[in-house]
Amino acid sequence: MKTVFTSFTTDNIHEGHLNIIREAQKYGKVIIGALSDRTLVRINRYTTMPQEERINLYRQLRGVDDVVLQEDLMSNDVIKRYRPDYVIHGDNWKIGVESVIRDNVIQLLSEYGGQLIEVPYTVNDAVKKADQRMIERLAMPEYRRKRLKRLLELRPVVKAIEAHSGLTGLIVEKTLIERNGEFDQFDAMWVSSLCDSTDKGKPDIELVDISSRLRTIDDIMEVTTKPIILDGDTGGLTEHFVYNVRTLERMGVSAVIIEDKTGLKKNSLFGTEVQQTQDSIENFSAKIAAGKKAQLTEDFMIIARIESLILEQGMEDALLRAFSFRDAGADGIMIHSRKKDPTEIFEFCDKFRKKDSNTPIVVVPTSFNSVTEEEFEKHGVNIVIYANQLMRAAFPAMKSVAEEILRCHRAQEVDAQLMPFKDIITLIDEL
Ligand code: SPV
Ligand code: MG
C-alpha cells in the first residue's frame, strides 16, 4: 500500500483540510504530520490547542490512518523517516514564505522518486470564517494572557519588540522572515512607557496616566493576538497597583514590569544625569507581594525591574534586590543597564543564575545592542525586549519628509521614500 503524507498546523478543521484528506485517500494510506508547538510558534500565530490535543483531533478524522509529530517545519525529519510515496498539499504554498518549504519538499522527494500532489486551495466564505474565528479566539484574554508563560517554555529566548499603536502592533504581529530555511517572528509586544509617552508628545515621567496607557493597549489588542508585556513604570502607589493588576489581567495583558524607583520617575536612559530615587527593598517587595495577592489567574506575571546598575548602586545591591523581589513573589527579574559594554549585565545574569536556575531574566539591550539573542541565552536570559527601535526608525523618516516638502513646495521629491498606501493597508485585516 502506498503512503501519502501531509502536514497540519490547524486546531480548527474546515472544508479545506477535509478536501486534502479526501484527495490523499485516493493515493494510499494517509499520514498526517502534526507540527509540534515548539515548531509552530516560529511561523504561525494560531495555536489555541496544545500539540497532544491537535494530534487527537487529527486522529479522529475519517480517512486518516496515522498521525506523527513533526518537529521540522521544512519536513526533513518526517520525509526522511517515512519516505512517503506522495506528499499532498494545498497549492497556496507556491507563493509567500512557505514556498521555501515547498522547494525543500520537492528536493527531498526527488532523492528517492516520491511525488508531490498539489490540490487547489479551498477558498470560500466558510473557510475564511473558520480562519478568522481562530484568530479572534487567540485574541481573547484567556488565550492571549497565558501565551507568554507558554512561550517561555517553548522558546530559547522570547523576543519582544515595542508597539505603541494599532499599526505598530500589526508590524509586530505580522512580520515574518525566512533565512536559510529558518523562520522567525517576534513572540510578544512591549508597551513601552517611553514610546507611548513620546507618541503622545509627552515626557516619560508617568505623566501619561493609566487610563491613557490602557487605551493604547486596547488599540493594540483590537488588531493583534500576540502577548503583551506592559512597562508599568514604578507601579505607582501600592493601593493603586493592586487595582491595575486586576484590570490588566482582565484585559488579557500577560505581564507587567515595574521598576524599583519612587517619586518622580525619569527614563532610565538618563541614568544619574537626572535626580531619581530608588525605592527601598521593603517597600518595593511589599508592592510586588500585594500585586501577586491581587491577581486572580495563574497566567499573569509581575516582573521586578532593578535599577541599581542604572543608578550606580553596584552589583551586590542589584543581586540583593533580585533575590529579595523574587522572594516577595516576582515572576521574573528585569535587569537594566545603560552601558554599551554588556559586562555588567552578563555578570549579573551569571551570578543570579548560579543561585536561581528558574526565575526568568529579562533584558532591554538598547545601549548594549551588540549582543545577540544567542549570547543572551548563554547567560541565562529568557526575554529580550527591543524597547524603542520602531519609533526611532519612524521618527527620522517622518522628520526628513516634512523638511523636504517644505524645501520643495511639493511632495514629488519625497515620493521615493514613501510606501504606497495600498501596500500599508495589506497589514490591515478586513472582516
Ligand atoms: C521604556 O521602554 O519605556 C523603558 C525601557 O522603560 S528604557 O527606556 O530603557 O528605560
Ligand atoms: Mg519605561
| Test site for ligand 1: of 336, 337, 345, 383, most ligand atoms within 8 A of the Cβ | 336
Top-tier CATH class for 3-126: alpha beta
Which residue is associated with the grid cell 484574554?
141
| Separation of CA 294 and ligand 2 centre (Å) | 23
Cα of 152 vs centre of ligand 2, distance in Å, is: 22
- pLDDT tens-digit readout, 213-257: 999 999 999 999 999 999 999 999 999 999 999 999 999 999 999
* Beta carbons of 204 and 267 less than 8 angstroms apart: yes
Q: Ligand 1 within 6 A of 10 CB?
A: no
Rounded-to-integer distance, Cα 10 and Cα 225, Å? 16
- Residues with catalytic roles: 204
Each of the 431 residues of the chain gets a pLDDT tens digit; together they read 999 999 998 888 999 999 999 999 999 999 999 999 999 998 876 778 899 999 999 999 999 999 999 999 999 999 999 999 999 999 999 998 889 999 999 999 999 999 999 999 888 888 888 888 888 889 999 999 999 999 999 999 999 999 999 999 999 999 999 988 889 999 999 999 999 999 999 999 999 999 999 999 999 999 999 999 999 999 999 999 999 999 999 999 999 999 999 999 999 888 889 999 999 999 999 999 999 999 999 999 999 999 999 999 999 999 999 999 999 999 999 999 999 999 999 999 999 999 999 999 999 999 999 999 999 999 999 999 999 999 999 999 999 999 999 999 999 999 999 999 999 988 888 77
pLDDT one-digit tens code per residue, 328-343: 999 999 999 999 999 9
Look at residue 314 in the predicted model and tell me its pLDDT.
Answer: 98
Instruction: Please state, in angstroms and rounded to a whole number, the distance separating the CA atoms of residues 306 and 293.
Output: 21
Q: 3-state DSSP helix/strand/coil percent for the chain, to nearest 5?
A: 50, 15, 35
Index of the ligand 1 atom closest to the CA of residue 194: 3
User: CA dihedral defined by 227, 138, 146, 193, rounded to 10 degrees?
Assistant: 20
The answer, as to whether pTM is greater than 0.85, is: yes
Distance 262 CA to ligand 2 centre (A): 13
Cα distance between residue 337 and residue 344, in whole Å = 8
CA dist 340 → 313, 315, 324, 370 (Å)? 18, 17, 27, 8
Q: What's the CATH number of domain 140-387, 3.40.50.150, 3.20.20.60, 3.40.50.1370, 3.40.1260.10? A: 3.20.20.60
pLDDT at 338: 95
231 lines ligand 1 (CB under 6 A): yes
Q: Which ligand is nearest to the CA of 388?
A: 1
Listed residue (31, 17, 40) closest to 79, CA to CA: 31
Residue of 168, 229, 265, 267 to test ligand 1 pocket, by largest number of atoms within 8 Å of CB? 267
How far does residue 268's CA lie from ligand 1's centre (Å)? Answer: 6
Q: Return the sign of the alpha-carbon dihedral for residues 256, 363, 311, 268.
A: negative
Q: What is the pLDDT of residues 168-178, one digit of tens each?
A: 999 999 999 99
Question: How close is the Cα of 258 to the center of ligand 1, in Å?
Answer: 11
Is 334 touching ligand 1 by the criterion CB < 6 Å? no
387 lines ligand 1 (CB under 6 A): yes
- Order of strands, sheet of 86-90, starting from the edge strand that comes earlier in the sequence: 66-70, 29-35, 3-8, 86-90, 115-119
Query: 365 C-alpha to center of ligand 1: Å?
Result: 10
Q: Is the CB of 192 under 6 A from ligand 1?
A: yes
Q: Which atom of ligand 1 is least distant from the CA of 196?
A: 3
Pocket test for ligand 1, best of 257, 311, 388 (most atoms within 8 A of CB): 388
Protein residue whose Cα sits closest to atom 10 of ligand 1: 268
Per-domain residue ranges of the chain: 3-126, 140-387, 393-427
pLDDT at 45: 65
What is the rounded CA–CA span in Å between residue 135 and residue 122? 18
| Cβ of residue 267 lying under 6 Å from some atom of ligand 1 | yes
**Ligand 1 within 6 A of 366 CB?**
yes
